[in-house]
């Protein structure tokens, strides 16, 4: 391989990567907008138990009906909104809180830093879903409690990334110059540290959306998340084992919906990572 070939390839590839991310982001925005007005798109009222129970997919009910005679497509759409919006909210709040904790403890160091990191260690000493189960058991079921449980599990990840980025930044000449120029702590943190560690944090968060969606659905599946009659994809599938043999669409429809949502956000996360760190791209 000669030098000129490599250079040319980089020139061609880099913008393509950026377009991919931009396209996916625009698609995500469109999807979010659609989810906000999803009620208008539902063919029927998702909670109306007016149809024959357990009807197979047909023209009138593209995804069939469920055990209580509700239109499954409408419920899947509403469930998609519940899953996507709650996991987005979860990731945004957790990432913000975890990053803030990490940046502050990295910047100020000392007792607060070691205390915070020990708390993070303890949160990491429990396997994720097990701690989630414990918190959910403690607080009782419900979507909000399940989200809280997952937040407890996932904040240390952001705190660690933010802290290590901050520590690395503090050693740079750029930070020394900013400090010599008389910047105050809030100024240094907001102007110089946060923008510089936003990339890795953003990528971590975007890679996390799909995972959080799966875990949230998992807790709902176990009966520890969204409570009926709220349509949620995980809880819609929880009675599935007894129905699988004769009425597989009741399980497979919501399953495909959650898979599609998770896959989309995983693609988005991968594109974001490739954009930030071309070295690590999948094709290599």
Partner 1 sequence: MRGMFSRRGDGRRRGAAGMKGYVLRRLAQLVLILFVITFLSFGMMRLAGSDAVLQKMERTGIAASQQVIDAARAELGLDKPFLAQYVSWLGGLLHGDMGVSYVTGRQVFPTFTAKLPATLLLTAVSILLTVVISIPLGILAAVRQNRLTDRLIRAASFFGSSMPGFFVAFLLMYLFSVRLGWLPVLSRSASLQSVLLPALTLAIAMSSRYLRQVRATVLDELSRDYVTGAAARGVKFSVTLWKSVLRACLVTVLTLLTLSIGSLLGGTAIVESIFLWDGVGRLAVDAISMRDYPMIQAYVMWMAVIYVCINLITDLSYRFLDPRIRLGGGRE
Q: Which residues bind partner 1 (CB under 8 A)?
A: 121-122, 125-138, 157, 160-161, 164, 200, 204, 207, 210, 214, 217-218, 221-224, 234, 237, 240-241, 244-245, 248, 251-252, 255, 258-259, 262-263, 266, 282-284
* Least distance (Å) between residue 266 CB and partner 1: 5
CB nearer to partner 1: pick between 41 and 259? 259
Question: What is the closest distance, in whole angstroms, from the C-beta atom of residue 140 to partner 1 in the complex?
Answer: 9
Q: How far apart are CA 53 and CA 71, in angstroms?
A: 9
Q: Which residues pair with 129 in a beta bridge?
A: none
CB nearer to partner 1: give 73 or 149: 149
Q: Quick one: 51 or 201, whose CB is closer to partner 1?
A: 201
Please report how close the Cβ of residue 276 comes to partner 1 at its closest, in angstroms: 11
Which lies closer to partner 1 via its Cβ, residue 51 or residue 264? Answer: 264
**Which C-beta is closer to partner 1: that of 62 or that of 248?**
248
Both tokens assigned to 63: 């995804």
Q: How far is the CB of 45 from partner 1 (least distance, A)?
A: 26
Dmax over CA atoms of the chain, in Å, equals: 74
> Nearest Cα to 218, choosing from 266, 246, 255, 248?
255
Distance CA 125, CA 145 (A): 21
Helices (H), the chain: 3-36, 38-41, 72-108, 110-125, 128-139, 143-170, 173-180, 185-187, 194-221, 233-236, 240-243, 249-276
* Nearer of residues 19 and 259 to partner 1, judged by Cβ: 259
**Tokens encoding 273:** 């990572």
Contact between residue 220 and residue 90 where contact means Cβ atoms under 8 Å apart: no
Measured from the CB of residue 77, what is the shortest distance to partner 1 in angstroms?
Answer: 18
List beta partners, residue 71. Answer: 65
CB of 126 to partner 1, least distance (A): 5
């Amino acid at each position: 391989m000669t030098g000129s070939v490599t250079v040319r390839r980089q020139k061609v590839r880099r913008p393509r990567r950026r377009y991919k991310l931009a396209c996916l982001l625009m698609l995500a925005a469109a999807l979010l907008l659609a989810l906000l007005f999803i009620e208008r798109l539902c063919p029927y009222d998702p909670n109306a138990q007016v149809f024959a129970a357990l009807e197979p997919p047909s023209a009138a009910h593209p995804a069939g009906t469920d055990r209580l005679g509700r239109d499954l497509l409408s419920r899947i759409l509403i469930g998609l909104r519940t899953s996507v919006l709650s996991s987005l909210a979860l990731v945004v709040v957790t990432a913000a809180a975890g990053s803030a904790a990490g940046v502050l403890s990295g910047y100020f160091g000392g007792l607060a830093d070691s205390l915070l990191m020990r708390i993070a260690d303890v949160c990491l000493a429990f396997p994720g879903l097990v701690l989630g189960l414990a918190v959910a058991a403690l607080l009782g079921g419900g979507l909000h409690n399940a989200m809280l449980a997952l937040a407890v599990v996932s904040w240390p990840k952001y705190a660690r990334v933010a802290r290590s980025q901050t520590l690395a930044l503090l050693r740079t000449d750029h930070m020394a110059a900013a400090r010599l120029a008389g910047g105050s702590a809030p100024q240094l943190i907001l102007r110089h540290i946060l923008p510089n560690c936003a990339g890795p944090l953003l990528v971590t968060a975007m890679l996390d959306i799909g995972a959080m969606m799966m875990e949230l659905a998992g807790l709902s599946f176990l009966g520890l998340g969204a409570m009926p009659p709220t349509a949620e994809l995980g809880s819609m599938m929880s009675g599935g084992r007894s129905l699988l043999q004769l009425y597989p669409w009741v399980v497979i429809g919501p399953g495909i919906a959650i898979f599609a949502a998770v896959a989309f956000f995983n693609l988005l996360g991968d594109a974001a990572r490739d954009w930030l760190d071309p070295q690590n791209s999948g094709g290599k």
